[in-house]
Amino acid sequence: MSQSDHSTTISRAVLITRLLGICIYIAAFFLPACREVATPGGDAPEVLQGSRCAWITLVNTLNPEIWRTRNFLAVLSGWINPLVVVYLVFLLFPILRWPRHIVAGLITAFIAGTWIFFYLYPLVPLIGHVLWIAGILMILAGEVIRRKKPESYS
């Protein structure tokens, strides 16, 4: 297999992975994303759909009180979705490679913040959250695959 064939195969695999990731990412908004921990003798815990979680966390960005509590981690998770959109737009312009890497790093850091928030609150992640994260990681997967530069033959 020549270098260009190998590079083309990798490019196709990254594209397919990203497209599948986008589909999974979008589907996750329609599924149950998280719920509170159930307590014995208490009311049934509320289950939040992915789109509702996204809306609540993004809207609370404007609440100054949130930024003074541990709930700021939830607000950071609300910014993952706009950052994913920015990332996808940056993919269209190869010159924006370094800004795209920075956005990918922020997304990854905010995902970690979401899990810390889940631990502190405590919330239980459900299938929507798991698929949301899987979709995001599939979208970002192309960043970790190194493309070899073609060897020049003199």
- pLDDT tens-digit readout, 17-38: 999 999 999 999 999 999 998 8
**What confidence score (pLDDT) does residue 11 get?**
87
pLDDT at 2: 64
One DSSP character per residue, 1-37 reads --HHHHHHHHHHHHHHHHHHHHHHHHHHTTSEEEEEP
The pLDDT value recorded for residue 154 is 46
| Tokens of residue 140, six digits | 């970002």
Looking at residue 146, its pLDDT comes to: 59
Place of tokens 């599948």: 20
Lateral strand order in the sheet of 32-36: 47-49, 32-36, 123-125
- What are the Cα distances from residue 122, in Å, to 20, 35, 38, 113? 31, 9, 10, 13
Could you give the CA distance from residue 37 to residue 122 in angstroms, rounded to a whole number?
6
Q: What is the pLDDT of residue 79?
A: 96
| pLDDT for residue 122 | 86
Q: What is the pTM of this model?
A: 0.86
Amino acid found at 30: F
Neighbours of 73 (CB within 10 A): 21
Q: Point out the residues of the chain with pLDDT beneath 50.
A: 152-154
pLDDT of residue 65: 94
pLDDT of residue 9: 80
